[in-house]
Amino acid sequence: MTLSPEETLAGWQNGNIGTERVLTTDDMTVWHLRLDPGATIKPHRHDHPYFWTVLTDGTGLSRFDDGREIAITYKAGDTQHFPDLTPETGFVHDLTNSGDTPLVFVTVEFNSIVDPNLGLKTI
């Protein structure tokens, strides 16, 4: 089932990209995300550059605001980087742990971007 229009709208209002915010500086926010089997993190927006690293093996299902549903198999240490996100190019999604073991991630969201023509820019 895809995200409903109501879930998508709520997701654009939700900047909590993890289950626990562990550090915030002028430059970045570090999140921990722990999902027990069957648990879901509510729809939330990604509109800043960020990366995640998963610390556990497992499986998940993510629904996106563009209608996609993606089943994912994670291996401990997998990392993905989204360097080009801005408020104009962001997206909303949720994540459900579809496996039988906890999923644990560390995510770092950057509060600024590097524009090759302009240098560091706060967004």
pLDDT, tens digit (0-9, with 9 covering 90-100), for 39-95: 999 999 999 999 999 999 999 999 999 999 999 999 999 999 999 999 999 999 999
Does residue 32 register a pLDDT over 80?
yes
What is the Cα–Cα distance from 103 to 98, expressed in whole angstroms?
9
Better pLDDT: 115 or 42 = 42
- Given pLDDT bands bounded at 50, 70 and 90, which one contains residue 1? confident
Tell whether the model's pLDDT for residue 27 goes beyond 80.
yes
Q: Is 47 in contact with 121 (CB distance < 8 Å)?
A: no
The residue among 113 and 5 whose pLDDT is bigger is 5
Confidence of residue 99 (pLDDT cuts 50, 70, 90): very high
Is residue 35 within 8 Å of residue 41, measured between CB atoms?
A: yes
Residue 71's Cβ-count burial label (10 Å; 0-12, 13-18, 19+) is exposed
Q: What is the mean pLDDT of residues 25-46?
A: 97
6 φ, ψ (degrees, to nearest 5): -70, -40
The pair of structure tokens assigned to 10 is: 């709520």
CB-based burial label for 43 (10 Å; 0-12, 13-18, 19+): buried
Does residue 19 have a pLDDT over 90?
yes
Average pLDDT, the chain: 92
The pTM for the full model equals 0.88
Examine the pLDDT at 30 and tell me if it is beyond 90: yes
